[in-house]
Amino acid sequence: MTKDVFPNDDEQVLRIFIVRHGQTDHNLKKILQGHLDIDINQTGEEQAEKVGELFSEFDIDEMVSSDLIRCRNTISKIIKYQSVRDPTAPLKVTPNLRERNMGIVQGMHISEALSKYGHDFKNLGETKDELITRVENEWNNIISRNENHKNVIICTHGGVITGFVNHLYSYRNYKLNVNLHPHDLKVPFNTSVSTIDINKTNGEGIIQTFGNTNHLGGQFEVKDQLLR
């Protein structure tokens, strides 16, 4: 069962909502993106509008986005709704939240990458450890500067979300909500929302939701898990 997405009102908890960017034409055509700066398409615009509406009644203390345009244009829809409530709601844009650099396979159709390099094509650019290190540095900074806040939104990429949330679960001992299982932590759908709570006193984390798409009218999943 998918747990719904709610704002946090507990002063002792920092809730971080992780949003994947809206759909791009490269997503649709199964072309590997990595660091390529590909914008969201019309479907992505509509998805971003819906996730913006979802957060319209939430008091968001900070928003942080990958600097790639597919994330910036997704979070701009959230900002549009937030600005009605608080025109000063801060946004930070950072390359630390970029998708994994895919090296020479960026721009290739996934079938071509598999044909030429096999499943190891994912490791021809940035290593998994390099990705986790830069994302973890940003994650720790977000937590430290929001010690007096309750709700933060991050907009990033499918590979980042999958790799880093699995890292939080497997290596930083973040717990899973009873509605979640380890096999649920896979590449999430465009504009899905994953929710993580951090206890401000002891630093313990709980992954409350993963890949929630109820704001899109149902629960949707990515069929091809190799796409990035």
- Spell out the domain ranges in the chain: 13-216
CB 10 within 8 A of CB 206: no
Residue 46 a catalytic site member: no
* Domain 13-216 is found in CATH 3.40.50.620: no
- Given 26, 35, 99, 126, which residue is catalytic? 99
Q: What is the structure's pLDDT at 100? A: 97
pLDDT at residue 2, rounded to an integer: 52
154 closest CA partner among 52, 3, 16? 16
Of 158, 156, 122, the C-alpha closest to 139 is 156
Rounded CA-CA distance 83/79 in Å is 6
Q: What's the distance, CA 110 to chain centroid?
A: 21
Give the Cα separation of 209 and 228 in Å (integer): 21
Give the model's pLDDT for residue 1: 41
Q: Is the pTM of this model over 0.85?
A: yes
Q: Which residue has the tokens 């914008």?
A: 39
Is residue 99 annotated as a catalytic residue, yes or no?
yes
3-class DSSP state for residue 17?
strand
Is residue 123 helix, strand or coil?
helix
pLDDT in single tens digits along all 228 residues of the chain = 457 899 999 999 999 999 999 999 999 999 999 999 999 999 999 999 999 999 999 999 999 999 999 999 999 999 999 876 666 678 999 999 999 999 999 999 999 999 999 999 999 999 999 999 999 999 999 999 999 999 999 999 999 999 999 999 999 999 999 999 999 999 999 999 999 999 999 999 999 999 999 999 999 999 877 766
What pLDDT shows up at residue 84?
Answer: 63
